[in-house]
């Protein structure tokens, strides 16, 4: 497997790149962004994965997330994949921003016609890490994961399902219980079918109810987020963590909304928090 370098740019004492490769999971070319701080020859770096939200690509956080200075300071590589497969042959719902291209929800779809290409769970959990391990100076024993909105859902569910792999999990404005909100119900019914038992492995609250645990979880949620009440429902995660003894840090940030103005405000804080976990001695 080889990658194509689309762009590489010097920034904050490191290299910000955009790369493409042919994915066997999605059956398409997939694009991702990677920031790699300067490092000594032969040195490998811990990695923070960032999963983006609805309508986004790798470019949103790369252009607006303001992560490079903090990653360079703490010696952490930052990988931002796309949110769904792309291409003329990939089925889409062009009049629906919350479904189809840009809205893969980090699931492996099982329903036609989505199942052929919409395999973002396997892509993020298995295929892309193998690409990164081969092509970049990454210490795969030191991984953490974060994300925003739909990507916050992805970070929580992937992190909880693979608790031994990720040293820490964080999220900005995550969809914590997609089985209970319109965005998730729409996507799950069409990608996964009507069996709600199948949905549970893609729902952070259900995973916690079914026994998933992680000791290092950080959530930031804006109180002026217009999606908070209907789609995000942070209170469900607060309740689930309290009931199960998970020591999550869930911070309601007064006056902040759902945008990258919010994300960029707290990005360096999240990276510093992850850095303490990623650089802990075993």
Domains in the chain (CATH in brackets) are: 3-277 (3.40.50.1820)
Q: Is 95 exposed, middle or buried (0-12, 13-18, 19+ CB in 10 A)?
A: exposed
**Catalytic option among 168, 214, 225, 274:** 225
DSSP string for residues in 128-195: HHHHHHHHS-EEEEEEEEEEBTHHHHHHHHHHHHTTTTEEEEEEES----GGGSHHHHHHHHHHH-S-
Sheet containing 166-172: give its strands across.
Answer: 3-11, 14-22, 29-37, 77-81, 45-51, 138-147, 166-172, 217-222, 249-253
User: What 3-state DSSP class applies to 100?
Assistant: strand
Return the closest-CA partner of residue 170 out of 187, 188, 186, 153: 153
Report the Cα–Cα distance between both ends of the chain, in Å, rounded. Answer: 32
Is position 210 annotated as part of the catalytic site?
no
Is position 194 annotated as part of the catalytic site?
no
**Catalytic option among 148, 258, 270, 274:** 258
**What is the length of the chain?**
282
Tell how far CA 17 is from the center of its chain.
18
**Catalytic option among 52, 144, 149, 173:** 149
Is position 225 annotated as part of the catalytic site?
yes
Per-position pLDDT tens, the chain of length 282: 689 999 999 999 999 999 999 999 999 999 999 999 999 999 999 999 999 999 999 999 999 999 999 999 999 999 999 999 999 999 999 999 999 999 999 999 999 999 999 999 999 999 999 999 999 999 999 999 999 999 999 999 999 999 999 999 999 999 999 999 999 999 999 999 999 999 999 999 999 999 999 999 999 999 999 999 999 999 999 999 999 999 999 999 999 999 999 999 999 999 999 999 999 976
What DSSP designation does 39 have?
A: -
> Which residues fall within 8 angstroms of residue 1, CB to CB, at 6 or more apart?
21, 22, 130, 131, 134
Q: Is 89 exposed, middle or buried (0-12, 13-18, 19+ CB in 10 A)?
A: exposed
Instruction: Provide the Cα torsion 62, 65, 68, 74; round to 10°.
Output: -130
């Amino acid at each position: 497997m080889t990658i194509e370098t689309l762009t590489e740019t010097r920034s904050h004492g490191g290299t910000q790149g955009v790369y493409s490769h042919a994915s066997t999971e999605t059956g398409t070319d997939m694009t991702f962004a990677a920031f790699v701080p300067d490092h000594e020859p032969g040195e490998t770096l811990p990695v923070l994965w960032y999963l983006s939200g609805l309508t986004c690509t790798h470019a949103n956080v790369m252009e607006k997330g303001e992560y490079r200075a903090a990653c360079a300071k703490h010696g952490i590589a930052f990988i931002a994949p796309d949110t769904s497969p792309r291409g003329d042959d990939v089925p889409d719902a062009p009049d629906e921003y919350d479904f189809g291209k840009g809205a893969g929800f980090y699931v492996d779809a099982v329903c036609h016609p989505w199942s052929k290409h919409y395999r973002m769970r396997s892509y993020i959990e298995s295929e892309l890490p193998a690409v990164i391990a081969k092509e970049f100076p990454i210490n795969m024993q030191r991984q953490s994961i974060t994300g925003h909105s739909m990507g916050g859902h992805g970070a929580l569910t992937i992190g909880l399902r693979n608790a031994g792999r990720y040293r820490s999990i964080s999220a900005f404005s995550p969809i914590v219980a997609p089985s209970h909100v319109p965005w998730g119900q729409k996507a799950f019914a069409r990608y996964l079918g009507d069996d709600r038992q199948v949905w549970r492995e893609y729902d952070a609250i259900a995973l916690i109810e079914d026994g998933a645990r992680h000791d290092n979880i950080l959530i930031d949620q804006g109180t002026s987020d217009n999606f908070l009440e209907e789609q995000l429902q942070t209170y469900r995660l607060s309740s689930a963590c309290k009931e199960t003894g998970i020591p999550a840090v869930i911070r309601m940030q007064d006056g902040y909304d759902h945008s990258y103005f919010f994300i960029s405000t707290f990005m360096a804080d999240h990276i510093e928090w992850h850095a303490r976990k990623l650089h802990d001695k075993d």
